[in-house]
Structure 1
């Protein structure tokens, strides 16, 4: 099966260090945090001019409608480059890369893709009823409307106090994931072990220089702030449940969940000609195929990616063992473990996805070798680009023909998965 009319490649891009919520990067807005990334990436090209820019952010702002264009212009780069915004919750920038891949050709050879989130600075909005009331007052009597502004109460505001709860259910992703963890029997011990390993791998990656050419230092911070090289299983076990705090059965904690994070990340989507324009210093991998999935919330808010993985592997007659590298987004340790548990459960793929095949043993030892979102952080819009860039560099060091799967779950019961090859 051939997805594209011509070969499409992903090339590792650059990102900021990822900062803790309320920490070193809290003074940036989404545009300001993205500008250094696109400026640095433009320098990777001989003429500094891509053919197109796609960028995304998940937490909206009334200050702009097309953040991609705002970033590009604020970066003082060639204003004749078209730029537009893409969004799909936590899968925003991986999905943007799929959209970009479909636009390669006809003279479009180099597309800069990325995303950003400044989770430290979520906007505070007004309820629809309050907006309607104030709008009517301003139309009738501006002075009375201004006086009404001073009389607003907390009930008039939409405050970001529930961890960006799902609009339909009114529950956070953590609330939903607690339910899924119980359904799949994902223990607290297994979650803490995965979180510990994520920190250990990310710390080793930083110490070994893996991230040096993927991360641009900022004046406030030079390395990812969330990575805890000194964490222990004992420290993780001491943390109290963060979502289910009353039943005595809660297993998700601040330690085994991805943290509130600020950061921006980019990558390149290129043709064979665009690959040559980037030069030999930028690692690349062929984008073989991709898959989006959407499921009913009843099957788990963050459980769409196993469906996408099964379909993608089946389309190419691949088994788990044929994939040399797995980069699976860690929204929560429980989510990653439940995603894999579904893939491994006898009969689940046949029943849920309609594919009657044995995909073999899942190779946990090949997952996230340089750490994942629990340790590195999860700025919603930036995570997909970070995952893809990291994967491309890891895959480029493997033998030719090696394949990788990149999987990112998303709020709303959706997920995005890519199949890459070192080619």
Structure 2
């Protein structure tokens, strides 16, 4: 029987996250992912080192990026013999990549690996109009001049209108924000709660910068050295912003929702033996994970909140780990929207949900809010979709290293009604 080994988190590196169409408007996913990987290579003196693998991905990719992880790895400074592959699970991509690498380390298949993610809305892929694309394919199949002319004669001006990426669920046509507005109504989350969580996130991020927490976690890129979305905005000003998704009755605003963000992050995982042999630190251990999905679309009606899958994943993970929701020193709940984090926590506090949906004896209970996203989270840092997981892992591992012991919970919602969660311990 294969011995299950501990999965050590050595540490991470990322570039600052910035609002799309600003400082990184000319940077590609390849540029940013390579920079994040180089940050890990330089921080841990891995130049020329052959790792077990690099798992990385992006949610918004050009066709030229079909082998994104491998191409970035080739430019990272690692040995060219380091294999790499792409991962994509919407906003859970980066955490899922870490789970995949960690599982191979645990099983003894590899000794080390990097999990990473990158995303840019500034360099979003713009596809050909579907009618034009099909016409080009017919033209390519044509054998004679007459056949080609016949295909070209079918061309219409409307064919030249490009297909712009849409931030909407394919099955509903609704944006994630519109789905979250439905969740807010279902769970009774107030505008005041959302703005307070948003304010706390920014204040925590500002405080973390002031005490130098990110000095070894963030590498400057394109002349930027700090996250560009962070703001010291008073609660009173947040309260005056207009709703962004439901103008009449909504509570989600541009501030309490994540904005389109460019950035990349990476984290180094290894066996204890590999890290010790290279005199590298072990900040914490990746010990448990769980991925879940919900039925958010049945017969054209929302049957479950699109972003509520973590509410299911976490209890399953806790049961396998033999832990309660209160057995943690830190909680990293991804703030796709402030409301999403609040809806998830309200579900765990709700007797009916926990009994009827989760099959538990009663509510999981509340968490200590002073332990929530203590260095800021996505509404403050920004959310380059695939990069959020590695950002959170590296942040949480360093927090546990500073504390000297403890346990942290990671919860990330993802498009398609999915959730990716994990536990980190020291």
TM-score relative to the length of structure 2: 0.91
Q: Which residue of 2 aligns with 1:262?
A: 262
Deviations 1:77-100 (A, max 9, x none): 421111111111000010111111
Question: Alpha carbons of 1:113 and 1:145: their partners in 2 closer, same or farther (altered >3 Å)?
Answer: farther
Matched, 1:201 2:204: yes
Q: Which residue of 1 aligns with 2:341?
A: 336
Q: Which of 216, 221, 227 is residue 224 of structure 1 equivalent to?
A: 227
1:84-123 matches, within 5 Å, as 84-104=85-105, 105-106=107-108, 108-123=110-125
The SS at the match of 1:181 is helix
- Asked whether the 8 Å contact 2:34–2:76 carries over to 1, the reply is yes
The SS at the match of 2:139 is helix
The SS at the match of 1:182 is helix
The SS at the match of 1:347 is helix
Q: Which residue of 2 aligns with 1:151?
A: 157
Question: Alpha carbons of 1:370 and 1:76: their partners in 2 closer, same or farther (altered >3 Å)?
Answer: closer
Q: Which residue of 1 aligns with 2:63?
A: 62
Shift of 1:6: 1.1
- Asked whether the 8 Å contact 1:174–1:243 carries over to 2, the reply is yes
Shift of 1:149: 7.4
Deviations 1:201-247 (A, max 9, x none): 10111111111110001232110000002x011221121111112xx
Matched, 1:411 2:415: yes
Partner Cα distance (1:14, 1:346) in 2? 40
Q: Which of 343, 354, 360 is residue 359 of structure 2 equivalent to?
A: 354
Partner Cα distance (2:204, 2:424) in 1? 22
Shift of 1:284: 1.8
Shift of 1:362: 1.9
Deviations 1:52-106 (A, max 9, x none): 1111101121112121011112335421111111111000010111111111154
Deviations 1:360-396 (A, max 9, x none): 4321221000000000000001000101111101111
Partner Cα distance (1:257, 1:416) in 2? 19
Shift of 1:144: 7.7
User: Any gaps of 5 or more consecutive residues in structure 2?
Assistant: 297-302
Question: Alpha carbons of 1:349 and 1:71: their partners in 2 closer, same or farther (altered >3 Å)?
Answer: same
Shift of 1:195: 0.6
Q: Which residue of 1 aligns with 2:402?
A: 397
- Asked whether the 8 Å contact 2:46–2:77 carries over to 1, the reply is no
Shift of 1:277: 4.5
Q: Which residue of 1 aligns with 2:26?
A: 27
* 131-140 or 195-204: bigger deviation: 131-140
TM-score relative to the length of structure 1: 0.92
Q: Which residue of 2 aligns with 1:273?
A: 273
Partner Cα distance (1:330, 1:12) in 2? 22
Question: Alpha carbons of 1:146 and 1:364: their partners in 2 closer, same or farther (altered >3 Å)?
Answer: farther
Deviations 1:94-119 (A, max 9, x none): 01111111111546211011000011
The SS at the match of 1:116 is strand
Question: Alpha carbons of 1:356 and 1:169: their partners in 2 closer, same or farther (altered >3 Å)?
Answer: same
Partner Cα distance (2:362, 2:398) in 1? 31
Partner Cα distance (1:322, 1:302) in 2? 24
Q: Quote the RMSD (CA, aligned, Å).
A: 2.1
Partner Cα distance (2:205, 2:150) in 1? 56
Partner Cα distance (1:19, 1:210) in 2? 18
Q: Which residue of 2 aligns with 1:288?
A: 287
Partner Cα distance (1:147, 1:193) in 2? 59
- Asked whether the 8 Å contact 2:56–2:86 carries over to 1, the reply is yes
Question: Alpha carbons of 1:107 and 1:169: their partners in 2 closer, same or farther (altered >3 Å)?
Answer: closer
Q: Which residue of 2 aligns with 1:314?
A: 319
